[in-house]
Amino acid sequence: MAASMHRQTWRQLMRLHSQRTATLTATARTCPRFLPVAAPARRSYSSNPNPNPNSNSNPNSGSSSSSNPPPPPPPRNSGQEVKFWPFAVLIAIASGAYVLLTRTRQEMPARPNSGASGGRGQLLPPPSNKPTPAFSPRDVTVLFVLGGPGAGKGTQCARLVSEYGFTHLSAGDLLRAEQERPGSEFGALIKDCIKNGAIVPMEVTVQLLENAMAETIRSAPKGSKSAARFLIDGFPRKMDQALKFEEVVCPAKLVLFFDCPEAEMERRLMERGKTSGRADDNAESIRKRFRTFVETSMPVVEHYEKEGRVIKVDATPTPDDVYKDTKGKLVKFLGEGF
Ligand code: UDP
Ligand code: MG
C-alpha cells in the first residue's frame, strides 16, 4: 500500500517535471536568454576566436563606423542565467512534491493506536523487524553457565540436573558430536576451531542448541519438569552468540558464572587431559583457550552483569562447596525449589 502510494507520488512528480520542462523549453524558444544549453555562455568560453559576429568584444572592432546603429547590449550575466535554469526546475519539483505529499498525508487514514505490532489496517511497518524467539521465556527457562575452561561448569551442571531436573546442554559436547557426525559439512571447521581454542561461527552453535532444545521438548513425556528447563553450558562465549540466541531461540533468565583463577583451571585441565582424550586438553590449546576466554567471553559476562542477570560463584573450592554456594545463590535469585 505504502509502496504503491510512493509509486503514484513519483509518477505525479515525473509528470509535473515533464510539464515544467515543456514550459521552460517553450519559454526558451521565445526568449533566447533562457536557452537551456546556454549557447552564449558556452561561446564565451569557446576556443572560437570570433564566436559572435555581432559582438562588440573585439577591441579592434572599435574602428566600426559611429554612424552604424549601436549594437544590441550584450546579454547581462549570461553565465548566471544559465545556472539559474536547473535551480528553477529543482525548486518547481520540490514545491510540487511538497504539495503532493501534504495532500497524500491528508488522505491517509489514521494509524490504528493499538500499540500491538502487525495490527490489521496498520499502514506503517511495526516498530521493529526483530524475529520472534522460537521459545517463549514464559514456557521455557534458560540458564547460561559460563566460566573459563576447567572452571567446573560440567561438574556443577550434572549436580543441578540430578537435584532440580534441568536438561543439560553443553555447547562443546554438541559441537564435538556434530564434528563426528558422518556427512557434516562443518566437521573440519569445528575440529580446527576446537584445537585452536577459537569460537565456531555462531550460526552453527546456535542452530545446534535450538535443535537440541526442540528435540528435548518434543520427545519429553507429558508433564516432565526438566523438558522446558535448560542449563546451557559453555555458551554464549561471544557477544554475537549471546545476542543471536536471545533473539532467535529464547531469552535467558540468568547467567551462572563460575569464577576461577587461571592457575587452578590449568592444573585441572592438565589433570583431565590424562584421560579425557580431548584434542584441546593440552598445554598449547589450553593457553589459546584462556586467551579466547579473557578477550572474547569475559565481555559477555560483563554485558550480563550490567543487566543484573549474573550469579557469580567462586569456583576455586571443592566441588561440594561450590555446589552449596551455587544452590544458595540460585534460591535467592529464583526462589525455593527454583
Ligand atoms: N566452542 C565454541 N563455541 C561454543 C562453545 C564451545 O566454539 O559456544 C568450542 C571452543 O573451541 C571451545 C571448545 O568448543 O574451546 C570446547 O568447549 P567446552 O565447553 O567443551 O570446553 P570447557 O569449557 O568445558 O573446557
Ligand atoms: Mg565443559
Q: Whose CA is nearest to atom 20 of ligand 1?
A: 172
What are 19's three cell numbers?
A: 510539464
**Does the annotation place 167 within a ligand binding site?**
no
Q: Is 33 helix (H, G, I), strand (E, B) or coil?
A: helix
Residue 142 Cβ inside 6 Å of ligand 1? The answer reads no
Q: What is the pLDDT of residue 188?
A: 98
Q: Within a domain: residue 95?
A: no
Q: Which residue among 237, 258, 290, 300 is best mutated to probe the pocket of ligand 1, counting the most ligand atoms within 8 A of its Cβ? A: 237
- Residue 230: its pLDDT value, please? 98
Annotated binding residue 150: yes
Q: Is 154 annotated for ligand binding?
A: yes
In a domain, 303, yes or no: yes
CA distances from 1 to 5, 9, 117 (A): 6, 12, 17
Ligand nearest to the CA of 268: 1
Question: Among 146, 194, 267, which is best to mutate for testing ligand 1, by the most ligand atoms less than 8 A from CB?
Answer: 194
Q: Which phi and psi (to 5°) does residue 279 adopt?
A: -70, -15
The CA distance from 166 to 89, in Å, is: 70
**Ligand 1 contacts CB of residue 193 (under 6 A):** yes
* Grid cell at residue 326: 551455587
Per-residue model confidence (pLDDT) at position 262: 98
Cα of 234 to ligand 2 centre, how many Å? 6
Residue 62: other Cβ atoms inside 10 A: 7
3-state class percentages of the chain: helix first, strand second, coil last, to nearest 5: 55, 10, 35
- Rounded Cα distance between 55 and 53, Å, is 5
Query: What CATH number should be reported for the domain holding residue 162?
Result: 3.40.50.300
Could you tell me the three cell numbers for 158? Answer: 550434572
Tell whether 1 is covered by a domain. Answer: no
Contact 93, 16 (CB under 8 A): yes
- The model's pTM: 0.66
Residue 15's pLDDT is 58
In a domain, 20, yes or no: no
Find where cell 568584444 sits.
57
Closest ligand 1 atom to residue 234 Cα is 19
Closest CA to 157 of 221, 235, 212, 240: 235
The residue count of the chain comes to 338
Residue with CA at minimum distance from ligand 1 atom 22: 149
| Domain tally, the chain | 1
Q: What is the spatial distance between Cα 204 and Cα 34, in angstroms, rounded to a whole number?
A: 65
Q: Which of 155, 280, 290, 293 to mutate to test the pocket of ligand 1 (most atoms within 8 A of CB)?
A: 280
- What atom of ligand 1 comes closest to residue 194's alpha carbon? 11
Does the CB atom of residue 289 touch ligand 1 within 6 A?
Answer: yes
Q: What is the pLDDT of residues 132-180, one digit of tens each?
A: 999 999 999 999 999 999 999 999 999 999 999 999 999 999 999 999 9
Residue 19 lies in a domain: no
Residue 151 alpha carbon, nearest atom of ligand 1 = 23
Ligand 1 center to residue 172 CA distance, Å? Answer: 4
Domain that holds residue 173: 141-334
Q: Residue 217 has which C-alpha cell?
A: 521438548
What is the separation of C-alpha 35 from the centre of its chain, rounded to a whole number of angstroms?
50
Tell me how crowded residue 295 is: count the other CB atoms within 10 A of its CB.
10
pLDDT reported for residue 171: 98
For residue 164, being part of any structural domain is answered with yes
Ligand 1 close to Cβ of residue 249 (< 6 A): no
Residues 86-99: pLDDT tens digits? 777 778 777 776 66
Ligand nearest to the CA of 176: 1
Ligand 1, residue 193: give the atom nearest the CA.
Answer: 11
CA separation (Å) from 184 to 109, 177, 179, 211? 53, 10, 7, 15
Q: For residue 15, tell me if it sits in a domain.
A: no
Say how many C-beta atoms besides its own lie within 10 A of residue 212's C-beta: 19
pLDDT at 100: 64
Element (H, E) at 231: strand 229-233
- Using 70 as the pLDDT threshold, list the residues of the chain that sit under it: 1-82, 97-128
Question: Does the CA dihedral 122-128-131-137 come out positive or negative?
Answer: negative
In three-state form (DSSP H/G/I as H, E/B as E, the rest C), the secondary structure along 129-187 is: CCCCCCCCCCCCEEEEEEECCCCCHHHHHHHHHHHHCCEEEEHHHHHHHHHHCCCCCCH
Task: With respect to residue 57, please indicate whether it lies within any of the assigned structural domains.
Answer: no
Compute the distance from residue 335 Cα to the ligand 2 centre, in Å: 27
Quick check: 148 and 293 in contact, CB under 8 A? Answer: yes
